Amino acid sequence: MGSAAIGVRGVGGQDGSGGALAYARVVNGVDDAAADLVRIRLDLAYDGTGFSGWATQPGRRTVQAVLEQSLSTVLRLPESARLTVAGRTDAGVHARSQVTHLDIPRAAWQSVPGRSALTPGDSLVARLSGVLAQEYSAMVGGVAPGATAAAPGLTQVPRGASDVVVYQATEAPAGFDARFSALWRRYRYRIADTPQALDPVRRCAVLTHRQPLDVAAMNAAAVGLLGEHDFAAYCKPREGATTVRELLDLRWRRVPAGEPDAGLVVAEVRADAFCHSMVRGLVGASLAVGAGRRDVAWPSQVLQGGKRHHAVTVAPAHGLTLEEVRYPPDAEVAARAAAARTLRELPPR
């Protein structure tokens, strides 16, 4: 199928940068079922420092653009790969456990191992590792392909290293959608609020706060934010998308000695989904309470206002990491995707 043209059609106004894609599945003029495409789930992680976020942007190095180019190279696709992601992260935000999917011809998937004894998934992971390392090395040494400026703060790179790693590639179950099939996403926001908690090795993943925070007050303020609400007050609106979300957890704790984040103040934030900048807005409001600038009732009052509040400072991106995306059993992913689309997409005007 080397010269086949693969047509793509978006669903609900969303595109490959973060929305759900339903492929028209046009291969040599044959539509849908006859095209014999396979949906591949990729599990990955990345250091967001050198990226202008997940979504493709002209002239910018983004996770989506780097991955799509690398996949197109490895899979020898006639057109660029198109990815749909579980959580579209902002510039500087990290991910330990991100999930994305793409649809490709089954022949391309089966041919990935070549003559090796590896499975298609293991072979794709291995080959992507090499291509991504080459891209990272080129970026550090100058300007990455597709970008017009080098990433800040990088001067050299260990051999074989990359700031994005795909650690699993599998054939997805029927009806799986990386975005809409997810039950919930879980983030952590890390803060060093004492000199003893500062770690220069983690400076790009931990926010420095110059005064101790009142964790008890921050947790008291979080109570009124839990549950299903319209979080428009904490989100940047996107056309065609609702801002109603169910916040399942917002918990702060000062991590005790002996744990990986010992000494840090860490927020655990979990929801069915997050609208644009929602986590960082919630963290910013919590910081105002923890620093004593606002009382514990203020974040709930902002929420009830129903619109962006000028006093809510969005917390810096680098302290935030996507830690986990949870999906239902394979037999339930299609139903979950259908239900989530209905909840989160506004009807056409």
286-326 pLDDT, tens per residue?
Answer: 999 999 999 999 999 999 998 887 888 999 999 999 999 99
3-state secondary structure of 136: helix
Least confident range of 124-128, 136-140, 211-215: 136-140
Cβ 64 vs Cβ 56: under 8 Å: yes
Q: Is 214 a catalytic residue?
A: no
pLDDT of 30: 34
pTM: 0.85
The phi and psi torsions of 269 (rounded to 5 degrees) equal -125, 120
167 marked among binding-site residues: no
pLDDT, one tens digit per residue, over 212-257 is 999 999 999 999 999 999 999 999 877 777 899 999 999 999 999 9
Q: Looking at the DSSP assignment, which residues form a beta bridge with residue 46?
A: 95, 164
Q: Domains of the chain by range and CATH?
A: 9-171 (3.30.70.580), 184-326 (3.30.70.660)
pLDDT of 257: 92
pLDDT of 18: 38
- How much is the mean pLDDT over the chain? 87
- Number of neighbouring beta carbons within 10 Å of residue 21: 22
Contacts of 133 (CB under 8 A, 6+ apart): 159, 160, 161, 162
With 0-12 / 13-18 / 19 or more C-beta atoms within 10 angstroms meaning exposed / middle / buried, residue 221 is buried
- Tell me the average pLDDT across 101-107: 96
* pLDDT value at 197 more than 80: yes
Cβ 192 vs Cβ 209: under 8 Å: yes
Cβ 163 vs Cβ 50: under 8 Å: yes
Q: How far apart are CA 99 and CA 87, in angstroms?
A: 8
pLDDT, one tens digit per residue, over 140-186 is 876 555 555 555 555 566 777 899 999 999 999 999 999 999 999 99
3-state secondary structure of 196: helix
pLDDT of 239: 76
Tokens of 37: 């495409």
The helix (run of H) or strand (run of E) holding residue 73 is: helix 63-75
Cβ 108 vs Cβ 75: under 8 Å: yes
Map tokens 């934010």 to a residue: 225
pLDDT of 23: 40
- Number of neighbouring beta carbons within 10 Å of residue 258: 6
Q: Given 3-state DSSP classes, what are the helix, strand and coil percentages for the chain, each rounded to the nearest 5? A: 30, 25, 45
Cβ 34 vs Cβ 68: under 8 Å: no
Q: Looking at the DSSP assignment, which residues form a beta bridge with residue 100?
A: 42, 85
Residue type present at position 276: H
Tokens of 255: 């991590």
Q: Which value, to the nearest 10 degrees, does the dihedral of the CA atoms of residues 115, 119, 121, 122 take? A: -80
- Number of neighbouring beta carbons within 10 Å of residue 5: 11
- Tell me the average pLDDT across 49-70: 96
Q: Choosing from 47, 90, 163, 261, which is the catalytic residue?
A: 90
pLDDT of 141: 73
Contacts of 125 (CB under 8 A, 6+ apart): 166, 167, 168, 169
